[in-house]
Amino acid sequence: MNVRSWGLSALAAFVLAACGGGGDGDQNPRVSYSALVSFGDSLSDVGTYATPVLASVTGGGKYTVNGPDARNWTELLAAQLRVAAPCPAQTGLNASGPLAAFAAAVADHDTCTNYAQGGARVTNPVGPGNAALLGLGDNSGLVGQLTDPVLNQINRHFAEHGAFTGNELVTVLAGGNDVFMNLATFGATVGTLGPTVAGGNAVTAMGTAGAELAGYINNLIVGRGARHVVVLTLPDVSETPLGYRQDPQVRGLIQQMVIAFNTQLVNGLTGTQGVLVVDLYTQNRLQVASPVQYGVTNVTTPACDLDLLAQTVFESSLVCSTNTLIAGDTSHYAFADEVHPTPYGYRLIAQFVTDRLLKAGWL
């Protein structure tokens, strides 16, 4: 995998969704929360890798266009809920080689409850950008992302805070990095196994990851006392700049992988009390089909100048800022890089989730 293909560590797509929320629900909430607890990957990561040197040199630290408006959907949702602003439960970076200056020791922050990390998978601890990939000949490991999987994230919360009180709003959004890693495995094995077997293995692995995530939500989140859990389905990774540059067969495989993950995730949560499934997959496809309806001006081109980033650091919105954008007005672009949303995209994700919370009577 090259840097462009690892990237983009997380959840491979954004979802721009219908506006909603606010109004009476904002003024007179039917449910109040003590905190927002988030598990997942880069789409929910609020600064795990924002090391002092990385932030000062690149102006980055989050997976978007970093700047004054660089708040992801969990930060915007917390403001809507009037709970404390999310902060990363763990920080650090195992960067090495030419990127060693960005490294920082791993530190846990017990008062913070956003556990999401760029590159995190559902169960496997080695996700995109993890230092362990160097041993497999993948130079993306130079970045040294921690990629603590969702399973570990949940257990760390339990170890630090005990069982859920039932007053938190818990969010879960993951699966994108399982797509990336299984896609890399497909590329490495298709020559020997053939496209049918290698592709089938990738789809099966994604279904397994979806079922595992449902099990963790049932047993380790709801089973430990959480009463309000928002689970976002994985958007269609094939409908991203990363997906668009694949050949048709691989792009179709990506979509099959996402569908397999979401099917097992949703089926595993059917009938679970206290879980609200938010269908980002469908909203993603609607938004791509009708971007003007959502105020989006471009759904195919990254707003960040990835060529410039590749020459100076590495190709990811983690190190993109308002100083490293392509020419023109990108304020309403969908993507910051090949899979991560712009600040506008994050705002619309938060609006969509808020709308679903209102409709469910959870806000």
pLDDT in tens, 167-177: 999 999 999 99
**Predicted local distance difference test score (pLDDT) of residue 355:** 96
Angle between helix axes 248-269 and 195-216 (nearest 10 degrees) is 30
Rounded alpha-carbon distances, angstroms, from residue 222 to 34, 156, 182, 273: 17, 16, 28, 8
Instruction: Give CA 48 to chain center in angstroms.
Output: 13
Residue with tokens 């990629």: 147
Half-sphere exposure of 28 (CA within 13 A, CB side): 1
Positions in the chain whose pLDDT score sits under 50: 1-28
| DSSP sequence for 182-205 | HHHHHHHHHHHH-HHHHHHHHHHH
Query: What is residue 323's DSSP assignment?
Result: T
Closest-CA residue to 281 (of 316, 234, 221):
234
- The enclosing domain of 273 has a CATH number of 3.40.50.1110
Rounded alpha-carbon distances, angstroms, from residue 6 to 40, 120, 174, 337: 17, 12, 16, 12
**Rounded distance, CA 6 to CA 136, Å?**
14
User: Domain containing 255: what range?
Assistant: 3-360
**Predicted local distance difference test score (pLDDT) of residue 316:** 97
Number of domains within the chain: 1
**Rounded distance, CA 304 to CA 319, Å?**
9
